[in-house]
Amino acid sequence: MRKLKIIFMGTPDFSVPTLAKLHNSDHEVVAVITSVDKYGGRGGKVLLESAVKKYAIENNIPVLQPKNLKSPKFNETLRAYKADIQVVVAFRMLPEMVWNMPPLGTINLHASLLPKYRGAAPINWAIIKGETETGLTTFKLKHEIDTGDLIFQHKLSIGADETAGELWNRMMEAGGELMLKTLEAIALDTVEYKIQNDNKACPAPKLFRENCEIDFNQPAHDVYNFIRGLNPYPGAWCQLDKKTTLKILTANYSEGCNHKEVGKLTTDNKTFVSITTQDGEINLVEVQISGKKRMKIKDLLNGYTFENETIIKRTNSAT
């Protein structure tokens, strides 16, 4: 089997198991490209390095952190590594001059069964939409996002109560195996590419605060899926008043005929808080109030009082 020289591109924790798998294989990761360091933490004064950068430094892999991927200097440096192939796992969109540079092209790992859930947040949207199955896909990159020719796919079931964070962790570990399988097929020249069926495509757009607001005028099960699909980040939320935002991180639900107004908050301010939906109720389990840490609802009620019978309405009905 041919030994491949690999440039790896990625940023978050999700990328690290794949990088580790490739680094410990018979192939060679000649360099890593990751995001630039950013200030954050307490007071915004801590310089934060990406998970991929930390792994690369610990394992003596050269690190590149370009601000501009089209920079002639960066592209000259990249070309000098003479990589056979590039691997992308949770990185930003690449210009053609970068993804088309190596002779074997650029391979991406995507957290869905393409062409379903093309976009930045496939794990979240699969749960939000109530899917019972998802998976991982390796494909050859081309200009239009997540549209390149498919190589391998690995299916995973989604648990009825599984959160996006829990699914993320399972997919993160499985991704490395699938990418190594892909590179070995390429190295052996046994890989077969399959064109995606665009008619089966559906989007998984990036999540912003605006599209994480809960619409209680939906069936209880759909609201429940929305909440677990945004747990732990960025978190589903609703507005209690002009100053108070309530993030609902975990909940359960009950279905049945509902004669109450949708969005009505009911509580004894001791043990429970529930909010009515189109056909039932969402029962809060773990929440976060503006200015407070996340906590179990019973713990929050020890020091916080909700205004009973509040009607929660969406702040932006267009989202």
Answer whether 28's CB lies under 8 Å from 6's CB.
yes
Position with higher pLDDT, 250 vs 310 = 250
pLDDT tens sequence across 66-117: 999 999 999 999 999 999 999 999 999 999 999 999 999 999 999 999 999 9
For the segment 9-30, the average pLDDT, to the nearest whole number, is: 98
User: Could you say which of 148, 177, 200 is where a domain stops?
Assistant: 200
Question: Which of 55, 67, 61 lies closest to 28 in space, CA to CA?
Answer: 61
Report if residue 229 sits inside a domain: yes
- 38-60: average pLDDT: 90
Kindly state whether residue 115 falls inside one of the protein's structural domains: yes
Average pLDDT, the chain: 95
Do residue 31 and residue 152 come from a single domain? yes
Instruction: Verify that 241 and 113 share a domain, yes or no.
Output: no
Q: Is residue 317 part of a domain?
A: no
Residue 315 located in a structural domain: no
The CATH number covering residue 63 comes to 3.40.50.170
Same domain (yes/no): 170, 243: no
Q: Do 187 and 130 share a domain, yes or no?
A: yes
Which pLDDT belongs to residue 258? 66
Q: For residue 223, give its domain range.
A: 209-300
First to last CA, the chain: 51
Residues 150, 247 within the same domain: no
The answer on 286 and 185 residing in a single domain is no
CB atoms within 10 A of CB 60: 7
Q: Identify whether residues 219 and 93 lie together within a single domain.
A: no
Residue 107 exposure: Cα atoms within 13 Å on the Cβ side: 32
Please indicate, yes or no, whether residues 143 and 225 belong to a single structural domain of this protein: no
Tell which of 158, 176, 200 closes a domain.
200
Q: In the predicted model, is pLDDT for residue 317 greater than 70?
A: no
Residue 308 forms part of a structural domain: no
Residues 125 and 268 in one domain: no
Same domain, 56 and 87: yes
**What CATH number does the domain containing 225 carry?**
3.10.25.10
Residues 258-274, mean pLDDT to the nearest whole number = 91
pLDDT interval class at 319 (50, 70, 90): very low
Average pLDDT over residues 181-198: 97
Please tell me whether residues 157 and 296 are part of one structural domain: no
Confidence of residue 43 (pLDDT cuts 50, 70, 90): confident
How many independent structural domains does the chain possess?
A: 2
Per-residue pLDDT, 8: 98
Q: Is residue 173 in a domain?
A: yes
**Residues near 232 by beta carbon (within 8 Å), at least 6 away in sequence:** 163, 164, 165, 249
Is 307 inside any structural domain?
A: no
Please indicate, yes or no, whether residues 144 and 217 belong to a single structural domain of this protein: no
Domain contains 312: no
Domain final residue pick, 200, 223, 257: 200
